Amino acid sequence: MDSAAIIALLQKNFALDPQTAKILVVGLGNTGISVAHYLHSLDFKFAIIDSRAKPPMMEEFFQQMPDTPVFTGGFDEAAFKVATHLVVSPGVSLNEQAIIKAIANGSKIVSDIDLFACSVDKPIVAISGSNGKSTVTTMLGEMAKATGIEVGVGGNLGTPALDLLALNAQLYVLELSSFQLERTSTLNAAAATVLNVSADHLDRHLDIAEYAREKQRIFRGDGIMVINTDDPVVYAMYNNSRNTYTFSINAKADFHLAYQGDTEYLMHNESCLMPLAELPLEGRHNAANALAALALGVAVGLDEQVMCNALRKFKGLSHRMQRVAEIRGVTWVNDSKATNIGACVAALQGYSRKVILIAGGDAKGADMNELAPAIKEKAKSVILMGKDANLIKQALHDCVPVYSANTMTEAVQIAASLADVGESVLLSPACASLDQYKNYQDRGEKFTKAVLALVDSFPLASASLSQRVPHNHRTTLAERS
C-alpha cells in the first residue's frame, strides 16, 4: 500500500491526520522504536515517553532520530495532556494513572497492531493463546516458506509487526499477546486462533475471564476462526455464523489424531496427512500445535503436503521442550519458556514416565494449586527455586518430594543426584523469570550451561552423579523447616 492509502485508513479509523495529530508513544523498547520509525516515515508529529530513567535502547534511538522529543524517568502528565493519540507499548499497563487520565480527557488509544493492520493489503494470520503460540507461529512461517511464499513472521515473537512492512510480504503471520490484543481494534485477520487459555498475567488482568476476553478480540472481523475443541474456554468462543475449522488431540474434529491400523496420523477430516511419529518434537501437546498450524495454513490456501514436509523438518524453538543433552542415560530438557501453569502442565502431560521437575520463579499472581494435580501424576520429585517457590511448595501438600535450590547450578546438581537411567529432568518453571534472570532465555541458557558442565564435572562413566552432590542438597524443604 502507498502512503496516501495508509494515511486515508488511519484518518478513517482513528482520526489520525499528519497535520493535526499529536502522538505520544509510550515505551521506548522494540515496539516503541518500530512505531517511531513508522510514524516518521509518514511525517506524523510524535514524542516518546518512558518511565525508566535510561531505557536500554535510548542511545541507539537518539542516533537514529536525534530531533525526536523523548521524556524519561517517569510518566509526566504534562506530556500526556497535549497528546491526541497514545500508542502504548504492550509492556506498559493501560491502568497507569497518566494513561487513564489522558483517555478520560479524549486521547485515543492506537496499538502498533492497529497501525500495521491499516498498512497491509495482504492476508494476516493471527495467533494467540497461553501456550504454544510461538511454536505455532514459527511452524506456520516455515510452512509458508516451504510453499515459496514471501512471508513475514513476528509480532510478539521476534520482529515487531511494523518492522515487517519492509518485507512487502505475500502473507503475514503474527503472534499476539493479550496485552497487544487488549488495545487493538481494527485487526481483521484472514485466519486467527486462540490455542488455549490458562491462568497467566493475572498481575495485569483482573481475572482469567478478563484475560480470555482480551484473547477473544483476535476473532474480530470476518476471517476464518480456528478453534481448539479440547479447551472449554476456547470452545466457548465458537461462533456458528463464522467459517470455522476445529482441531483436537482427544476427539474427532476438522483436524485431529486417529489410528489407521497401528499407526497414529495427523488427520484432516478423513484424510491422513502424516504419521504422528514423523513429527520431530517432544510431547503430545506439540501434536495439537501441529494440527493448529495445519488448520491455519489450509485456511489461507497453503498446500497440505508441502506443510507436512515442513513439519517433518521442524526442530522446535529454543527454550521450548528443547533437548539439551543425554548424560549417562538421563535426558535433560529445557522448557524455560513455560512461564505459566498451563505451559508446565502441557509439558508434563507429554511424558509417559515420571520426570524430575525444576520449577519456580515469579508466579504473576497465578493460583499454584492448579499445578498440583499434574505434578502429582507426572513428577517423581520437584526442585523449586525463585521468588514464589514457597507458594508452589504449599500447593503441593507433600504429594511428591520437594527440594530447594538457590541457583540454577544447584538445581541441576540436585536433579543429577536424583535422576536414574532412563529418566528425564525437565526445566519447566510455570513462572516468569524476572525475579532472578534477565528473561526466560537467560534462565534457559543458565540451565543449559549447568547441564553441560556435568560432563566436565563427572567425566568417569562409572561414577554416579548422586555420589558427587553434597548430602545437604538432598534434604527436602519439609525436612529443613
Catalytic residues: 133, 156, 201
Cell of 13: 479509523
Please say whether the beta carbons of 384 and 404 come within 8 A: yes
Please say whether the beta carbons of 189 and 113 come within 8 A: no
**Distant-in-sequence, close-in-space partners of 377: CB < 8 Å, separation ≥ 6:** 348
Please write down the HEC assignment for all residues of the chain. Answer: CCHHHHHHHHHHHHCCCCCCCEEEEECCCHHHHHHHHHHHHCCCEEEEEECCCCCCCHHHHHHHCCCCCEEECCCCHHHHHCCCEEEECCCCCCCCHHHHHHHHCCCEECCHHHHHHCCCCCCEEEEECCCCHHHHHHHHHHHHHHCCCCEEEEECCCCCHHHHHHHCCCEEEEECCHHHHCCCCCCCCCEEEECCCCCCCCCCCCCHHHHHHHHHHHHCCCCEEEEECCCHHHHCCCCCCCCEEEECCCCCCCEEEEEECCEEEEEECCEEEEEHHHCCCCCCHHHHHHHHHHHHHHHCCCCHHHHHHHHHHCCCCCCCCEEEEEECCEEEEECCCCCCHHHHHHHHHCCCCCEEEEECCECCCCCHHHHHHHHHHHEEEEEECCCCHHHHHHHHCCCCCEEECCCHHHHHHHHHHHCCCCCEEEECCCCECCCCCCCHHHHHHHHHHHHHHHHHHCCCCCCCHHHHCCHHHHCEHHHHC
Please say whether the beta carbons of 182 and 174 come within 8 A: no
Q: What angle do CA 364, 450, 447 make, to 5 degrees?
A: 25
